[in-house]
Structure formats: C-alpha cells, structure tokens
Structure 1
Amino acid sequence: MTSTKAKPNLLPQDLSTLNVNELNPLTPHVISRQATINIGTIGHVAHGKSTVVKAISGVLTVRFTSEFKRNITIKLGYANAKIFKCENPNCQRPGCYRSMRSNTEDEPNCEVPGCGHKMKLLRHVSFVDCPGHDVLMATMLNGAAVMDAALLLIAGNESCPQPQTSEHIAAIEIMNLKNIIILQNKIDLIKEPAAKEQHKQILKFIQGTIAEGAPIIPISAQMKYNIDVVCEYIVKKIPIPLRDFTSDPHMIVIRSFDVNKPGSKVEELKGGVAGGSILKGVLKVGDEIEVRPGVISKESDGKLKCTPIFSKIISLFAEENELQFAVPGGLIGVGTKIDPTLCRADRLVGQVLGSVGKLPSVFTSLEINFFLLRRLLGVKSQSKVRKLQKDDILMVNIGSTSTGCKVTHVKSDLAKLTLLTPVCTQVGEKIALSRRVEKNWRLIGWASITSGV
C-alpha cells in the first residue's frame, strides 16, 4: 500500500506560472511526476521482457483488473520508473544507480551499506512492454510508434536469434530506432562458457543491423542481478530525445477505457479515459480537445462519414501521479467528458487527440512509396516476400492504428491503397506493411505516405 505522506514530496505543478518555452525533458517539476522518455522492451516470447520491467520499475505489466487505478495495460503493458544516482562521489558505480517506482519522492536516501547520502533524480522513463508472440506483431508495431529507445531481450538458455528476435529488430529498423541496449537475460540458468558462446552468437546476429555496436549486458531479471548496470546504461547511452513543447498538442491513443463501475448512478458517471503518448505540444487540464477520425458511420449511399469528437480535459494522470499539464514522452491517461461507451474496450485506439481544428487530415485512400523485405521474418521457412499485386489485401500500421487495406494500383515501388477504416495521418509518415501468411499477419516491408484522399 502506498503511503499518502510521500505525495507532497513530488514537486507541485502550477498552470498559472507555466512557461512552455522553458520546458525540457529534464525540467524538475516535469520529471518529478511524469516520464519523458519511452523505452520499449522487445524480443522473442518468454525471454523475460515483463520480468525486466518489473525488476526496474517494481510494476508488473501483466495485469487485467487494475484498470480502475487509471493504469493502462492489457495489450501493451506499461510501467514508469525513476532512475536515481547517489550524490556521494565515493559511492561506487554501478551500485550508486537505483531505479524506483514512479511515485517515489525526488530525493530518497542511498541504500548502499554505509553511504546514506541523498540520491538525485536523473531520469523518469516509461516502459512500453511489447508482446513477443508472433500473432501479436501488430500490437508490437503500435508500441514501436512511441518508442525513443529499446531494450532487446535475449534469453541466455536459448540459441540466438529466435524468430521474433529478428522480426522485432526489423520492425525497429523501420521505425529508425537507433538507441538499443541488448540484455542477455537468464544467465543464472547457464554456465560461463555457454554465456560467452552465446555472446558471440549475439554479436554475429546484430552485425549489419541497426543494433550493431549496441552494448550487451548480462543480467538475471528474476534475481535482479545487474539491474543497476541497466539503469546506468539507460542514463549514459540513451540520449535525451528532442521534444517539441511549443507546437499544437498531438497525442496518439494506444488504449482507451470506461472507468465507471457497473451499476454507477447517473450523477456519479465519469467521462471516458484515453491513454497514449504525446508526440508534440503540451496538454493542460481544462483544454478543449478534438479526437479524429472520431465516430465512423456509413451513410445511405455507402460512403463512410467521420464525425470528430469534441471534448474537454478533466484530469491528467501519469500512473498514480496527478498532473496539471502533460508533456511529450511517457504514457498519459487523459480524463475527458467523452461518452464512456465510445472509449470502452479500446475503441479509441488509433485515434489522434489534440487541439480543436489543429489535427492532420483524415484519409480513406493513400498513395505510398514502399520498400519490401527480401525474406519473411519470424517464420521457420525463410521464404521470399512476394511482390505487391493489384487486389492484394494488406494490413498497415500507421502510428497506433492497424487497419486492413486493398491494393488498387502498383507501379514499380509506388502503390495506391484503399483503407478499410479512415485514418488521421499526414504526408511523409512512415507506415509498416503486413501480409497474411500461414494464417498470421507477417511484416513484409514499410512505406512512406506520398499523398492521399
């Protein structure tokens, strides 16, 4: 149970004195309450992604019933953690680095025996825990849309690479995610020669990929062995992302839900909650907002009609920490006045939330410039990727949206797609393409949007 006494130690946020031009991802009264860097955990199924997140943040991301705490999981797990460093210059590394829960006070005492100095808050990070199962590749790509860096998990007791290890590497390559730390997990289960042999396998596997040159840290997530080293590397190896605080706010929705309990009285009803990551701009409590594409309906002539949803921000949360304003990075819960039935069971996923009249257009068909992978990843039978043809049915991932589409024209590396559901996006945005192979959607390549209708 969290004590209520620790809460006043978080720095206060005051909208009346807020100057957006002075904010950055390390501003103390921002990182006291909110994560500003998103780190994805990727890798093959059962290699220890959720266990690592729990070891660093103290939060188990695999949980279904805790939505009432305004925490957003189920499909993409997530957890926030603060990373501290002891201010005593004689405190030895890596033991001087510690990670704690998101609602920890900003200056805890160092727990190294005989030290007792205060610790300084250096980073507040948000972990996006991606599923490793091949069937959930689309979910992983939705998570990759908000990542600034990634922890790639490779289990020490299995050969490297496993199918989804290579598929996830290809996915982050598409997203141009350069900041990667490789964690060689479960080393408590193997002997030293086997660990060294696998270290060579990993180096061979990442050669020529975007992960080449990434640090490899041997860890045991279950035993919390070397987790302090991981914290040190997060601080030293992952650069502070450049953030745009002054533009109109633009947030992509990764989760949405209805927080009302069954049988609530009418006067007790709360509006729906949208959870996601702000890409640019600052959201404040009391702001008027718009959600696009909004409610999608079919008209009598068969045409699709999109009605944007207009609402107001009632509350902002980062895990258990209440906010007055929210900045880019980290995962935020936005309490609104939207009809809760529109938010129930992730119905708003893939929508874009921002200032009224300032969001990008909604498209129903796209023209793309595409690039296909040479071979299929994540399947044992390394078969070649078939070229795109007219009338192909594909799945595209745009931001946090996954939608089906039909290819209507193909000419060399250009194609025209008709989307099943309208999407709020802009020209130049990168998208991932997947095709159905052996009953599952498989990543076949990527594209950038050149124009659309």
Structure 2
Amino acid sequence: MADTIDVKNLTPLSMEAMANQATINIGTIGHVAHGKSTLVRALSGVTTTRFRSEVERNITIKLGYANAKIYKCDNEECPRPGCFASTDSGREIAFACARPGCSGTMRLVRHVSFVDCPGHDMLMATALSGATVMDAALLLVAADEKCPQPQTSEHLAAIETMKLENIIILQNKVDLIDEQQALDNHAEIRLFIRGTVAEKSPIIPISAQYHLNIDAVAEYIYRSIPVPVRDFSAAPRLIVIRSFDVNKPGYEVDQLKDGIPGGSILRGVLRVGDDVEIRPGHIEVGADGKYTARPYRTRVVGLMAEENQLQFAAPGGLIGVGTLLDPTLCRGDRLVGSVLGAVGTLPKVFVDIKIKYTLLHRLIGAASSGKKQAKLAKLAKNEELRLTIGSSTVGARVTGVGDREAKLTLSRPTCAETGENIALSRCFGRSWRFIGCAEIVTAKAIKLELD
C-alpha cells in the first residue's frame, strides 16, 4: 500500500493517513497537578505516567504521549456537544452513535497525538522540548487554586514566545468547587490571559477525573484548532523526542529486537524500507579538541503509532520507528535531541552558533521573589545558559554579546538549521528558568564522517 500512495494528494485529513496514525500534535501544558495527564487519559484512555518514578510521585517526569481519535455524529439532529466523542487510537473509523434514539454514525474527523508536558518547575526543559512538535496546546488551570500558578504563567509565556498560537484553556476540577468559586476563577483566568496570545481562547469548564465536558473538549479540538499545513512531498525528517530498548532481561539472542527512536515527522513521508540517517550520531573529540560526528545509518524496518502497524508515516503525530540500530544506542532516551531523515538531507552539526534573541521583560515562575517579578538582566559574556534546540536540551556558554545578538558555544554538538527558533533558560538558584527565545542566525559546522 505504501508504494501506491500518491503523497502529493495526502493531507492531515486524508483517511489513508488519519485512519492509522495521528496527524496533529496537541500539547497539554500548565502547572503541576492541574490534571494534564488525567485529561489525556479521559480523551484517549491511555495513561501517560508509565515509569515507576512517575507512578510513585503521581507526576509526569518524561514527555508523555497518547493518541486519540475524535468522532462526530453525521446526524444533524444529534445535539452538541454529545455528537462528539473521543476514543483510543485503535477504534475503527466509523461506528453507530450511542445516543439513545439517534440513528447516526460516528465518523472519524481528527486523529490527535497528545504531548503531555511535565508541570514541575524543575522539568521546564522537558516541557520546552515537547513544545517544538506542537501544533496547538491545551492549557489546564485548576479551578480550586488561585490563577495563575507559577508554571501556568511560565508555560504560556514559553509557547507564546515560541509562536504557538492555537490554544484552548480548560478550567479543570470544577467538581471541587461551587458555582460562585467557578465564576471567580473564570474571571481570574480572563484577567491572566489578557494581552497574551491566549486572550481570545475559549475557556471550557471540565472535570477530567469524572469525564465531565470531555465531549465539549473534543468538539473544540475539531472546531477551533486549524488543520496544520504539511509538506508531504519533501524528504522525510523526524525529530526524536523518545528512544527505546524494548528488550527485557532474560531474552535469548534470537529474541533480541533492534532500537526504536520515536518522535514526530516534521515533513515528508517515511516508509518501511527507507534508508535513513540519524544526526549528530556518534561524537568524538580529537587531540586538538575539535569534534567529529559520525551519523548513524540504518533502515526503517517498521513503523508504529501506538498499537497500529504502519507501512508509511505522514507528518504529525508521534511515531515509533523500528530500525536495525543496536538497541543500546536507543536505551533510556539516548537519541533524544537527534534528527532522523533521508540520507544526505539532514542539517549540519555544530557547536558554535550566532543567535538573535528576545528576552522576557521579567522572570516568570517559582524563582521570582515576592509578588513583584524580578527584571531579567541581558545576556553577559561567559554566562552559562541552557538551550532547547528542537528536542535537544544542551548547555551553552556566551562567547560574545551584541545588541540583541550573541555568540554561543554549545556543550555538545547539535543538529539543527539556521533560522530555527530555540528557547533560552538561565539558572536561578537550583532551577533553570525560561527567559526568552532566539533564532539561529549562523552556525559553524563540525566535521562529519560519512560512509
């Protein structure tokens, strides 16, 4: 089937793609414990807190991910929002409407990947790396707490400066408060988003725990989030946000499986059988202190969207890529920050860059002291920063500063393009805080060893 697909005619709403994989990425952002993972479970049936440390602490630490299909009843008499529903990714593309007395059919209208970002202030870099693949965001605000909380502000500022404009605000936990408290909290949210990119965003009261108004969330995802423009005909490129070794202790040699990078395709169509490379790959430092990168070369032997096996994968959604890589290269997210794509088409690898940057006016989040947020100082020569470049989080030292421009030396080689938007973080106490964004103006490539 993959060989007969005409990629020029594919869109994010093409049933050939949408039936088996998500084609839109939506992030869940907001303060810790405001219900992001609970919402994703309500929409998709998937629990994103999968690691032992996450389950024990009941918070998201790594980027969570889950796919959901959104359906709309084709009976025009079926009342909204009950004419919408969301299910796990494995459901068929059509089924009978469950509303009593309705003879309509629920038909697939969207297939979404949720990128569940951690809300804890210590995990902001992880949240920023997730923002690089988002087409839209659901901002959760707990109705039983004062708005805004520190990471509510920080997450909104981050996606705003990274030019993400499609936002839906969910006023969660309304089951814990009375009507007047809900109205007061709604007013606080309206005041908070005034003058921001989210000023005109809808605010939907929900209880993710009890699945209250989840059908309304599905409707707003369908109606208010534009279908993203994708380039299906370009050479395929995937940004790696997770990587796995799926082998278990005790496996025999003939049971071992190869490594699996996972992420989102930015453009192009990836097919089973494609030869691909992953940059930066293996890094070496010579006696002269100069870096050399040897990209990994491999072949796509399988494509997965959760439990769905694919013959081709289109842009959008979160995809697992079966390869012939040594599984130890993928263990424990070791390939996070890498870029996978057609051989010879990926950007260069660099350690020295020049950026044009914009800082926030004031520090946002838990590191700010008192009620008045601290004013941010300009970048300084020899200052240490943390950058989020694509899905890579990397340290950097400022080697030169000009008027809203700076030269940086990265702590390790990174693969990215000039013109790419990146996030800047600065250390305050023991925490790295988001302080602004930048664009890569120029980059000095390191030597690549190619087979």
TM bucket, shorter chain: over 0.9
For residues 300 and 62 of structure 2, the distance between their equivalents in structure 1, rounded to whole angstroms, comes to 24
Instruction: Pick one of 228, 239, 247 that aligns with 2:215.
Output: 228
Aligned to 1:86: 73
Query: Counterpart of 1:51?
Result: 38
2:287 to 277, 292, 300: 300
Pairwise CA distance, 1:90: 1.4
User: Which one of 405, 423, 442 corresponds to residue 414 of structure 2?
Assistant: 423
Q: TM-score, normalised by structure 2?
A: 0.94
Counterpart-to-counterpart distance in 2, 1:217 and 1:195: 11
**Cα drift, residue 298 of structure 1:** 1.9
1:20-419 matches, cutoff 5 A:
20-64=7-51, 75-379=62-366, 380-381=368-369, 382-419=373-410
Q: Distance in 2 between matches of 1:265 and 1:190?
A: 55
Compute the displacement of 1:108 (Å).
1.5
For residues 213 and 256 of structure 2, what CA distance do their matches in structure 1 show? 46
Deviation at 1:319, TM superposition (A): 0.5
What is the Cα deviation at residue 264 of structure 1?
Answer: 2.1
Residues 63, 74 of structure 1: 8 Å contact kept: no
Q: Give the Cα–Cα distance (whole angstroms) in 1 for the partners of residues 284 and 140 of structure 2.
A: 42
- Asked if 1:432 is matched to 2:407, the reply is no
2:57 is matched with: none
Q: What is the rounded CA distance, in whole Å, between the counterparts of 1:121 and 1:443 in structure 2?
A: 38
Instruction: Confirm or deny: 8 A CA contact 1:275 1:331 kept in the other structure.
Output: yes
Are 1:448 and 2:435 an aligned pair?
no
Whichever residue aligns with residue 267 of structure 1, its letter is: D
Q: Secondary structure at the match of 2:427?
A: strand
SS in 1 for 2:301: strand
Please say if residues 61 and 118 of structure 2, whose CA atoms lie closer than 8 Å, have aligned partners that are also in contact.
no
Size of the alignment, in residue pairs?
433
- Asked if the contact 2:12–2:227 (Cα under 8 Å) also holds between the matched residues in 1, the reply is yes
- Per-residue CA deviations over 1:243-285 (Å, capped at 9, x if unaligned) read 0100111110000011112232223222100000000000000
- Comparing 154-163 with 116-125, greater Cα deviation is found at 116-125
3-state SS of paired residue (1:151): strand
1:116 Cα deviation after fit: 4.3
* Alignment partners' CA distance in 2, 1:74 and 1:103: 26
1:200 to 1:74, Cα distance in 2 relative to 1, 3 A = closer
CA distance in 2, matches of 1:373, 1:119: 45
8 A Cα contact 2:72 2:84, kept in partner: yes
SS at match of 1:199: helix
Q: What SS does structure 2 have at the residue aligned with 1:142? A: helix
State which drifts further: 110-119 or 430-439.
110-119
Checking the alignment, whether the CA contact within 8 Å between 2:61 and 2:123 is kept in structure 1 is: no
Kept after mapping to 2: 8 A contact 1:350/1:400: yes
Paired residue secondary structure (1:108) = strand
Cα deviations by residue, 1:13-33 (Å, 9 ceiling, x for unpaired): x12311111111011121110
Aligned to 2:449: none
Give me the whole-angstrom Cα distance separating, in 2, the residues matched to 1:74 and 1:247: 34
Residue segments in structure 1 that go unaligned for 5+ positions in a row: 1-13, 66-72
Q: Deviations over 1:316-374 (max 9, x none)?
A: 00000000000000000001001111111111000000000010111111000111111
Structure 2 unaligned blocks of 5 or more: 53-59, 445-451
In the alignment, is the contact (CA less than 8 A) between 1:251 and 1:280 conserved in 2? yes
Q: 1:74 to 1:372 in 2, by over 3 A?
A: closer
Q: Secondary structure of 2:91's partner?
A: coil
Please report the RMSD computed on the Cα atoms of aligned residues, expressed in angstroms. Answer: 1.1
Deviation, 1:300, is 2.7
Question: Hey, what's the Cα distance between the residues in 1 that align with 2:12 and 2:441?
Answer: 32
Partners of 2:281 and 2:154 lie apart in 1 by 32
Q: Kindly provide the CA deviation profile for residues 78-100 of structure 1, in whole angstroms up to 9, marking residues without a partner as x.
A: 11000001112211111110001
What secondary structure is seen at the aligned counterpart in 2 of 1:95? coil
Q: Distance in 1 between matches of 2:7 and 2:16?
A: 12
Amino acid at match of 2:74: E
> Distance in 2 between the 1:105 and 1:175 partners?
35
CA distance in 2, matches of 1:74, 1:384: 29
Mean Cα displacement is larger for which, 136-145 or 367-376?
Answer: 367-376
CA shift for structure 1 position 117: 2.7
CA distance in structure 1 between the partners assigned to 2:61 and 2:286 by the alignment: 34
Partner secondary structure for residue 235 of structure 2: coil
Q: Which moved more, 1:115-124 or 1:143-152?
A: 115-124
Structure 1: how far apart are the matches of 2:92 and 2:119?
33
Q: Which amino acid aligns with 1:353?
A: L
Indicate conservation of the 8 Å contact 1:75/1:139, yes or no.
yes
Q: Distance in 1 between matches of 2:434 and 2:178?
A: 35
